[in-house]
Structure 1
Amino acid sequence: MPTPAVPDPSRPRVLIVEDDDTIGRHLVSGLRGSDYRSSWSRTGSAALAEATQSAYDVLLLDLGLPDMDGLDVARVLRARRPDLLIIILTARTDDIDVIAGLDAGADDYLVKPFSLSVLLARLRAHLRRRTVPAPPQEPVRLADLVLDVSARRCTLDGDEVALRAKEFDLLAVLAQHVGDAVSRETLMAEVWDENWFGSTKTLDVTMAGLRRRLTQAAGARARLPRITTLRGHGYRLEP
């Protein structure tokens, strides 16, 4: 009898949270065939229990679960595991639903139906960026905003601003090119991946979240640098 294969601990572990049997089986098979260690939970409560018992690198999360809203699962696991990569799989396409998912702690989203090749490309892009260390950089100071890329800290008038990971990365790229027009293509390549393909709606949603968090943190007292939208091109962080 052959000796059972021992799982390679270096392979990323993926927890799939999906109540549809067809989609769940397809994801498990596709991920295992692409050298990921994958597990499958059909409910939110089962996913929370599984994620508590075992250390996962990635969460693929359906929002329409039978026992609880997927957004609540994202919030709980984001609080427990700040380093967990959360990708939402959803049939909801309205901006408000995408914003809610990102605000709940998701790093990215895919709209159903999607191809396995697109999902695998997104996973490779996210995981590759997490393993490449950024070189030390001096903090950038603009009005009352201080952005310390090396420490991944953003402060306004001395108070720290809690930004989502991609919101911070987006602001960091704009700060590296302060005063210059930065194209949408450049932002997608720098913040997401140079081989990104498909809709850039993620950029618009992330930018909206970034602006909202900075404005709320500034209130009436702190001075913010303005992020100008350049229609048909991209954005510019004003000096």
Structure 2
Amino acid sequence: MRILLVEDDPQLGDGLTVGLRQSGFAVDWVRDGHAADLALLAESFDLVVLDLGLPKLGGMDVLNRARARGQDMPVLVLTARDATGDKVAGLDAGADDYLVKPIDLDELAARIRALTRRSAGRAAPLLTHGELTLDPAAHVVTRAGLPVELSTREFSLLQLLLENAGRVLTRSQLEQSLYGWRDEPDSNALEVHIHHLRKKLGSELIRTLRGVGYTIAR
């Protein structure tokens, strides 16, 4: 999952970026509202973590512009503004969740997972497909009850495919969700991860539609 983090505090932004990446998210971090608005215009993100007190363009303006453009990705407001009026205004403007700093990183990651489930119309925390089970919170995959060791990137790719089971995802869609601006994947990196998943989970799990993309059948 690719997250846009909008936070002007360098220490907090760096800590959140490192922590969320360790939790398996691809994170792009910008430090002002204007940069956030440009990023949302140029690229697609699965979720936005948005501060409100930003230089150049306020967080509420960023949120209002995104919703006015019809961008419906989940937005989690993370701010020091703790007044009830601010919370009501943020949620009514289109935020999906509102957290007041300081925040525990584990709670933030859990809320991100919950928002992702809701945006996908899925209530269950686990992803299952036949004998395969993926637990996003514990970062564990089992097959027929036995644990399967996956790299962080393999886990993220499998989660993305399971979340979109029945849909064909193009190479561009997969890479955009898996890699941030600082990541420069090799030209065949995606194919290598697909190969490793098939080797560990069975060659029949992930289908290739040549010239189109990859899918896991429902």
> What stretches of structure 1 of length at least 5 have no aligned partner?
1-11, 135-239
Sort the Cα spacing of 1:49 and 1:43 in 2 relative to 1 into closer, same or farther, 3 A.
same
Sort the Cα spacing of 1:102 and 1:44 in 2 relative to 1 into closer, same or farther, 3 A.
same
Displacement of 1:83 after TM fit? Answer: 2.1
Which residue of the partner structure matches residue 18 of structure 2? 29
**2:110 partner letter:** A
Displacement of 1:133 after TM fit? Answer: 5.4
Alignment partners' CA distance in 1, 2:32 and 2:71: 22
Map 1:1-239 to 2 at 5 A: 12-132=1-121
Report 1 or 2 for greater relative contact order, CA contacts < 8 Å, sequence distance ≥ 6. 2
Alignment partners' CA distance in 2, 1:46 and 1:19: 11
Q: How many residues align?
A: 123
Displacement of 1:60 after TM fit? Answer: 0.5
Sort the Cα spacing of 1:27 and 1:81 in 2 relative to 1 into closer, same or farther, 3 A.
farther
Q: Secondary structure at the match of 1:63?
A: coil
Percent identity, aligned pairs only? 48
Q: Secondary structure at the match of 1:71?
A: helix
Q: Superposition RMSD on alpha carbons, in Å?
A: 1.4
Larger Rg: 1
**1:130 partner letter:** S
Q: Secondary structure at the match of 2:94?
A: coil
Maintained 8 Å contact 1:72/1:104:
no
> What stretches of structure 2 of length at least 5 have no aligned partner?
124-218
Alignment partners' CA distance in 1, 2:11 and 2:70: 28
The normalised TM-score by structure 2 is: 0.54
The normalised TM-score by structure 1 is: 0.49
**1:74 partner letter:** L
